[in-house]
Amino acid sequence: MRPVPAVAFTDPANYNHQAKAFAESIPNAVWTNQFDNVANMQAHIETTGPEIWTQTEGKIDGFTCSTGTGGTLSGTATFLKKINPKVKVFLADPPGSVLYNYIKLGKLEREGVSSITEGIGQGRVTENLKPSLKLFDDALHIPDTKTIEMVFRLLDEEGLFVGASSALNVVAAYEMAKILGPGKTVATIISDGAYRYQSRLFSKTWLESKGLFEAIPSQLHHYVSLP
């Protein structure tokens, strides 16, 4: 593990640039360049999109998810729009990311402060995301309060122990379904489990430090630990 500063992509000390330089310094090393290697997007064109189409028997009206590399949203959108241009695609974005405002206003401006979600949200448009920007019908800004509430609701109501980014995607799917109206089928991605984040997401001390404890329905407080 090589800890690096949390700086913008334009800074030479950004982890992407450091990873590239580090790989180049090691014989036979390969830098996967996950954010800008469009094989990422292509994988979802060939797998995720067809899987969703098959499992819904082609009866899908909308798809939404958040982005980190952008490959999942971009690749899935590309496949679904090609096979049925009527399928709506919404980008879901956490606080602190620029993508919501970029889709809505065409400006790379951050919406809100940094989010509790990890691995999603962006300060730029990646190469994986660029090819599909014209395919997005809208964008949804999902506040952390809605995300943390959904973490606990999914655990209680569905038995799903998911992380914040997955919960955000489910909130986005719910919001998209309300926009599209009754009888519509909306798909999203549940990409992470809560086991990696449980010392934070289920800690009363941590939740209170982020101003999120009160966002959890009172009947679900028994899932929260005291530390």
Can you list the domains of the chain with their CATH numbers?
A: 37-190 (3.40.50.1100)
- The pLDDT assigned to 9 comes to 77
Angstrom distance (rounded) from CA 65 to CA 93: 8
- The pLDDT assigned to 223 comes to 96
- The pLDDT assigned to 6 comes to 74
- The pLDDT assigned to 111 comes to 85
pLDDT < 70 positions in the chain: 227
Verdict on whether the full-model pTM lies above 0.85? yes
What angle, rounded to 10 degrees, do the helices at 144-153 and 164-180 form?
Answer: 100
